[in-house]
Structure 1
Amino acid sequence: MQCTLTDDLTAVLKPNEDLRLHRLIKLLTETGRPESIYTYMRPGTKARQLLEMIGNRNLALTHEAFDELPTSTAAEHLRALLIHHRTMPERGNENLARFEQWITARVASLPTDGTSHIVELFARWRHLKRIRDKAADPETNHSTAISAAKQEITEAGKLLLWLKETHDIGAEKLQQKHIDDYLSSGPSTRKHIRNFVRWLNSQPNSRTHGLDTPFRKAQANPMITDMQRTELVRNCLEHQQVAQSTRLAGLILLLWAHPLNKIVLLRREHLITAPDGMRIKLGATPAAVPTALTELFWQQLQNPENSNTTNAGTDWLFPGTRAGQHLHPDTLAGRLKVLGIDPQRARNATLRSLTQEVDGRTLMDLLGYSPGIIAQHASRAAAPMADYIDLKRSAPQIAENP
């Protein structure tokens, strides 16, 4: 099959003297699952069309050329593949680059009566600058931050469109009564205008001062019982028909309350092996992995899913289907449902249990949580330890359910 695949790729890509294409063919044919490449490049697919464009020299191996293509999963998958295997150069944080493109497209879709200008300023100075500053931090899940930023930018635009349509005014004449009316007459997603309104207040020469939106506090702290949590741990260990990566991620959530957007950021180096056992580094101090679980961790280290296809050679503990990238938190959340795991309820239950058993400062070191989060969950769990009181006094007030 490998020889046939080599011939087919050569016919499509027409490498001739282009060493980059020869390298790409070699990498694709050496994959552990050549049948997946056949499926990927079968005639009629978008991926096949892109490969043919490269072969006909209608698509250059540059980011500028790929940026000009219509947005598609196939194009981004191919771009990631080319970058991961060094056939195309990196351009820094790819999520950040796509976010900048999204901002440009979003602003272009808004009216030029001042609406697009204000939204662009908000997008670039409130969000893009902040995300750029954090782009070098490997512990930050940029996809999560970017998703939240997109929602706030989108809702800011909707507010301004509503103002114009309903009251024929722009942002400079926004008043508190308009905000109250807007929030009371629409879906709950409108609450995401809060940061935009506060940003308007802070602008030089702004005519809006003291405007705000009520912060929606969680009315409940959903969680499962200890018995249910124990049953879910058993599911992760015994349901062999479920992918090992899903079962392992479920255990990390159920035992250490590590949130999904951080679980997917774990790298192979976060698992530490030593003569006295295995440890996992979630915070400043590595946590011991129970002996009964080490076999599952070893299996994931030795054979992570997606590593036998286009995502070979990655350091991610949970590789995604796109080359060089980790699994997306939303994808992981969907997979955990097979095991009956609701991530928020499971995380809350785990934190409740841990705060009753371990002192606050140790938990901060082991789990990487802030004092405020630990103090809040300890208070809900009625943890009797005096250390939690000190944490609560020193922690900033947290307005929303963590």
Structure 2
Amino acid sequence: MTERASRGRPRSVGDHECSRCHHMVPRIRVNWPEGQICGPCFTTAARTYGQCAFCGAERLLPGRSSTEQDICRDCAGITTNLECDKCGREGERLRGGQCARCVVTGDLERILAPHTPPDMRIKRLVTELAAVPRPESIITWMRHPITKELLNRIGARELDLTHEAFDALPPSRSLEHLREMLVHHRMMPGRGDPRLARFETWVDQRLATLQSIPTIHTPIEQFARWHHLRRLRESTDPTRNMDNATRCAKQEITEAGKFLRWLRDGHATTITKLRQAHLDAYLSEGTTTRSAIRNFIRWRARAGIGHPFTIAHRTARTTPIASSRQRLELIKTVVEAQHTHLSTRIAALILLLYGIPVRRISELAVGDVDATPEQTTIRIGPLPAPIPEPLLPLFHQHLAARGNHHTMNHRTPWLFPGTRAGHHVTEQALMQRIRGLGIDIQAVRNAALHDLAKEIDPASLADLLGYSTQIMNLHAARAAVPMATYPAINRPQLH
């Protein structure tokens, strides 16, 4: 199978036509036997490896036959020098006639100085970074100002490879990315769930900003440490979605802080003098996120440091659901969306086909997909679910070239790798990408379960999708009701 490097760089318009992509471009990079080749097409060609369609050799395949097949330099008659001056590997020559891997190795050895004095962990860091399938991504990563500073400090031996040293630095995505990388490759010890660790750091930083306001700092510290941190630390459920749990905790803490400021600035009072009228006024105006203070108020009452108050629950008036026709049209749209990243399309198809939560989609592993000569299945419940035959080429293409697996996450077992080493894509990131396809996630989930409940009995469907039989019975009951009356059914809301 040919391994092709995808390019997402926007193209500029010019006066020259590329013979390969036929775009009008400002400049031509090289002239090959097939014609003029633009820069992006040259880069893609110089990173395409596989079996030559003419001679069968496994090597770089920059050429293109008259029938659009990838062929090697010799068969294409290409005389451009595409060999690294240092290691001799075929590929795009970057700085000093060297390939990306040699450039990365040289830059890292110069910056990190693994031999002066010798440090085995730093030597491993150089080796791991240079070994990624797409070393060009490491070159881009190293150009980031914060990344550059971190690597320079490690090389100068000013930054120890410890969590304490990293925690003392200003928080940033680059810092956490490097930390996860070092933990994943065992250059730094693990310290439990990284999301919990990040939440602990976030709590410390949030409380530091409130230090000068004791009437707000004290109740927020109690809520954050006594309730949320203790609850998260004591959780032993391996299936718990820690990403969602910490996000919800952050929102509740943030909204509680806003409420306390509202009491102080607008009513010259504090939480210890709270009255029901204050709550009613606060919740009746502003955004719906204000309802997130409910847990804060009720926890204070349970802990014996506040009075019980009445806070009504917000309930949805209807349960959103797409029609069967809309669902099928979305499947067709996703299949044909060739300009959308393939991993996003596969995740959207799993949602549209099986109606499982996006969290469970993000947590799927490569081993959950089983390809046999008879059929290809995906295990999302106790029983494997068949993948429709027309969609198999897309699934197999994704398995062969998963996103984010060309970087430091290249040995990941996840079906949808994340940007951080060792982690799958987060639920929130995947939800955002799926919504970018025009998909109402809850509506299509309910539509998929509604349609499946018409064809499969609830017990079998529960085993197939990993839901409880009670939930499947609920969908089966709703599937038997005319669509016009669906929102009015007096049953619990689906989540």
| TM norm. shorter chain > 0.5 | yes
Task: Kindly state the Cα deviation for residue 116 of structure 1 after the two structures are TM-superposed.
Answer: 2.0
- CA deviation map 1:203-231 (0-9, x unaligned): 23x4512x131111112323322112112
**Equivalence for 1:224:** 322
**Equivalence for 2:251:** 151
Moved more, 212-221 or 310-319: 212-221
User: Are 1:311 and 2:409 counterparts?
Assistant: yes
Higher relative contact order (CA 8 A, sep 6+): 1
Q: Which has the higher helix share?
A: 1
Q: Give the conservation status (yes or no) of the 8 Å contact 1:141–1:265.
A: no
Tell me, what secondary structure is at the counterpart of 1:41?
helix
Among residues 361, 377, 387, which one is paired with 1:263 in the alignment? 361
Q: Give the conservation status (yes or no) of the 8 Å contact 1:141–1:262.
A: no
The number of residue pairs the alignment matches comes to: 387
Task: Kindly state the Cα deviation for residue 379 of structure 1 after the two structures are TM-superposed.
Answer: 4.6
User: Are 1:277 and 2:375 counterparts?
Assistant: yes
Task: Kindly state the Cα deviation for residue 75 of structure 1 after the two structures are TM-superposed.
Answer: 0.8
Tell me, what secondary structure is at the counterpart of 1:272?
strand
4+ aligned runs moved over 6 Å, structure 1: none
- CA deviation map 1:96-133 (0-9, x unaligned): 00101111222222254343222222223332233234
Residue pairs, 1:149-228, within 5 angstroms: 149-204=249-304, 206-209=305-308, 211-228=309-326
**Equivalence for 1:253:** 351
Tell me, what secondary structure is at the counterpart of 1:229?
helix
User: Are 1:124 and 2:222 counterparts?
Assistant: no
Task: Kindly state the Cα deviation for residue 298 of structure 1 after the two structures are TM-superposed.
Answer: 2.9
**Equivalence for 1:331:** 429
Task: Kindly state the Cα deviation for residue 299 of structure 1 after the two structures are TM-superposed.
Answer: 2.9
Greater C-alpha radius of gyration: 2
Q: Give the conservation status (yes or no) of the 8 Å contact 1:218–1:401.
A: no
> What fraction of aligned residue pairs are identical, expressed as a percent?
45
**Equivalence for 1:8:** 107
Residue pairs, 1:284-303, within 5 angstroms: 284-303=382-401
Question: Matches of 1:362 and 1:351 in 2, distance apart?
Answer: 13
Task: Kindly state the Cα deviation for residue 20 of structure 1 after the two structures are TM-superposed.
Answer: 0.9
Q: 1:199 to 1:143 in 2, by over 3 A?
A: same
Using the size of structure 2 for normalisation, the TM-score is: 0.73
**Equivalence for 2:140:** 39
Tell me, what secondary structure is at the counterpart of 1:214?
coil
Q: Give the conservation status (yes or no) of the 8 Å contact 1:356–1:383.
A: no
Among residues 119, 132, 141, which one is paired with 2:241 in the alignment? 141
Among residues 118, 124, 129, which one is paired with 1:23 in the alignment? 124
User: Are 1:58 and 2:148 counterparts?
Assistant: no
Q: Give the conservation status (yes or no) of the 8 Å contact 2:297–2:306.
A: no
Q: Give the conservation status (yes or no) of the 8 Å contact 2:321–2:446.
A: yes
- CA deviation map 1:122-153 (0-9, x unaligned): 2233322332344651x332112211111111
Residue pairs, 1:93-108, within 5 angstroms: 93-108=193-208
Task: Kindly state the Cα deviation for residue 366 of structure 1 after the two structures are TM-superposed.
Answer: 2.1
Task: Kindly state the Cα deviation for residue 15 of structure 1 after the two structures are TM-superposed.
Answer: 0.7
Among residues 186, 192, 195, which one is paired with 1:92 in the alignment? 192
Among residues 450, 453, 467, which one is paired with 1:352 in the alignment? 450
Moved more, 301-310 or 277-286: 277-286
State the AA in 1 paired with 2:429: T
Question: Matches of 1:126 and 1:207 in 2, distance apart?
Answer: 14
Question: Matches of 2:192 and 2:448 in 1, distance apart?
Answer: 36
Task: Kindly state the Cα deviation for residue 173 of structure 1 after the two structures are TM-superposed.
Answer: 2.9
